[in-house]
Amino acid sequence: MSIFSHPAYDKHEQVAFYQDAKSGLKAIIAVHNTNLGPSLGGCRMWPYADDGEALNDVLRLSRGMTYKSAMAGLKLGGGKAVIIGDPRKDKTPELLRAMGDFINTLGGRYITAEDSGTSVEDMHVIGERTKFVSGLIEESEHGGDPSPSTAYGVFVGLKAAVEHRWGRTDLAGLKVSIQGVGNVGFRLARLLKEAGAELFVTDIFQDNIDRAVNELGATAVGADEIFDLDVDLFAPCAMGAILNDDTISRLKVGAIAGAANNQLAEERHAAVLREKGILYAPDYVINAGGIIDVYYQQQGDYNPAQVKEHIDTIGTTMKEVFQRADESGETTAHVADRVAEERFGHEDAVNGALKKTDSEAA
Ligand code: NAD
């Protein structure tokens, strides 16, 4: 397997591999960029088919974190960790402690937090071995879990997409399909339901589907059927690479706005969406609520009102991205990348870009 010439390697500063025979831990930490600060990103646990799949995932996710934090105006770099294994079967305190030891070897260049397959409780166990862990402060009303903030941020960004696409500020009667009603997807579904949207959901776990159907009156659809629905907006909240040649040709929606990381299978799919007239809310812009929350937890002075205020700026940033894309004819994904790269590329550009955004938002 190639590393430095890996298609997703980009300009990673560091990629570390770790194996602990006693606990069975096999994990990778990728640090993409630390220009703006230490890299911070979740620790995902997933039953990857092979090491190559895990490496590809961690590289793509880590790079995404650099762009996400820069775009959200945070003094953080981008990194991510993956544990190879099934969180429902293979997760043990011993394995999580070994993960803490692994994180510690990086000396603070990488700070971990929750992601798919890991919980607040898991962060406490990891925290027994390293101080470089966030997302576990008791003061936040959700005990450190960033998912509610991610869901709220997606909701804010989704409303900006609806306003840009259809010129309306309410969501009453809007038909929304959600792929994955887990930590983020379910909370997003609840916010959408409260705003009057009509929900269509799928998941690979029946208990998650049942919860959305029973508690929110959502309509359950098949895992593959989600791409064929005649709905207004699609919110991917499960895994990445779900916007590809096959699925895009089937989508009938006018906009895509969801939490999943790395939704585009390849960069060129942003242009395919644009040609089809589908407005795409770049994933790392819309799903930054969680990292914003974790950032304030890491700062040590957690104030829910301040966090919410910062997350609300996702709406402004999103509108700006949409508008610039319209003006320049570029894809929304390309516009977002350009702004983020200006921000983490060098300090002058960072300050300039942030000032510009602030004044434009004012
Ligand atoms: P989660 O594991 O709680 O939820 C994901 C859900 O998707 C699960 O219920 C799972 O069963 C379902 N799922 C998986 N594959 C599926 C498929 N093929 N079809 C339908 N459903 C499927 O994870 P989460 O924390 O809700 O995160 C969801 C997505 O958002 C992930 O891509 C994650 O990286 C991203 N994200 C999460 C956060 C956060 O704060 N949790 C922050 C930023 C981005």
User: Which residue's C-alpha comes closest to atom 15 of ligand 1?
Assistant: 238
Give yes or no for residue 156 having a pLDDT over 90.
Answer: yes
Residue with tokens 């039953």: 47
Query: What's residue 353's pLDDT?
Result: 37
Q: Helix H segments across the chain?
A: 51-71, 93-105, 120-126, 147-166, 183-194, 206-216, 245-250, 269-275, 283-286, 289-299, 304-328, 332-345, 347-361
Percent pLDDT > 90 in the chain is 87
Min mean pLDDT across 123-132, 139-148, 326-335, 337-346 is at 139-148
Which neighbouring-strand residues pair with 256? Answer: 234, 280
pLDDT at 109: 97
> Which residue bears the tokens 């060129």?
268
Q: Is 153 a pocket residue for ligand 1 (Cβ < 6 Å)? A: no
Mean pLDDT of the chain, nearest integer: 93
pLDDT tens per residue across span 54-72: 999 999 999 999 999 999 9
* Region of poorest pLDDT, from 127-141, 198-212, 242-256, 295-309: 127-141
Which of 149, 181, 203 has most ligand 1 atoms within 8 Å of its beta carbon, as the pocket-test mutant?
203
The pick from 68, 80, 91, 115 for probing ligand 1's pocket by mutation, whose C-beta has the most ligand atoms within 8 angstroms, reads 115
| 33 CB near ligand 1 (under 6 Å) | no
> What's the pLDDT band for 144 if we cut at 50, 70, 90?
confident
Instruction: Name the residue at shortest CA distance from atom 35 of ligand 1.
Output: 260
Atom nearest to 236 CA in ligand 1: 29
pLDDT at 255: 98
Whether 68 is catalytic is: no
Prediction pTM value? 0.90
| pLDDT at residue 300, as a whole number | 81
Catalytic-labelled residue, pool 68, 80, 159, 319: 80
148 lines ligand 1 (CB under 6 A): no
Specify the pLDDT at position 2: 85
Range of lowest pLDDT (54-58, 123-127, 343-347) = 343-347
Structure tokens at 276: 């089809």
Q: Is the pLDDT of residue 151 over 60?
A: yes
pLDDT-derived band at 137 (thresholds 50, 70, 90) equals confident
Residue closest via CA to ligand 1's atom 10 equals 180
Q: Crossing angle for the helix pair 304-328 and 289-299, nearest 10 degrees?
A: 140
CB 119 near ligand 1, within 6 Å: no
- Ligand 1 contacts CB of residue 177 (under 6 A): no
What distance, in Å, lies between the first and last C-alpha atoms of the chain? 49
Q: Which residue in 16, 9, 10 sits closest to 106, CA to CA? A: 16
Does ligand 1 have an atom closer than 6 angstroms to the CB of 259?
yes
